[in-house]
Structure 1
Amino acid sequence: MRAEPKTVELDVRPQLRNKLEPFQLIMDTVKTLGKDDTLILHATFKPTPLLMLMKGKGYRNAVRRLADDHWITTFVHKSRALPDEADLPADDSQPDAHEGDAAGEPDTFVLDNRGLQPPAPMTRTLKKLEQVKKGDTVIIHNDRVPVFLLEELQSLGYAYEIEEQQDGSAKVAIRKS
Structure 2
Amino acid sequence: MMNTTTKPDFINSAPKLELDVRPSLASGVDPFSLIMKNIDTLKDGEILHLINTFEPLPLYNVLGKRGFNHFTENVDGIFNVYFFKSDAGFEAPSQESPTISKIETVVEIDVRELTPPEPMMVILEKLRDMDEKSILLVHHHREPMMLYEKLDEIGWEAVTNKINENYYKVVITRKL
For normalisation by structure 2, the TM-score amounts to 0.49
> Which structure exhibits the higher relative contact order, with contacts defined as CA atoms closer than 8 Å and separated by 6 or more residues?
2
For normalisation by structure 1, the TM-score amounts to 0.49
Higher gyration radius (CA): 1
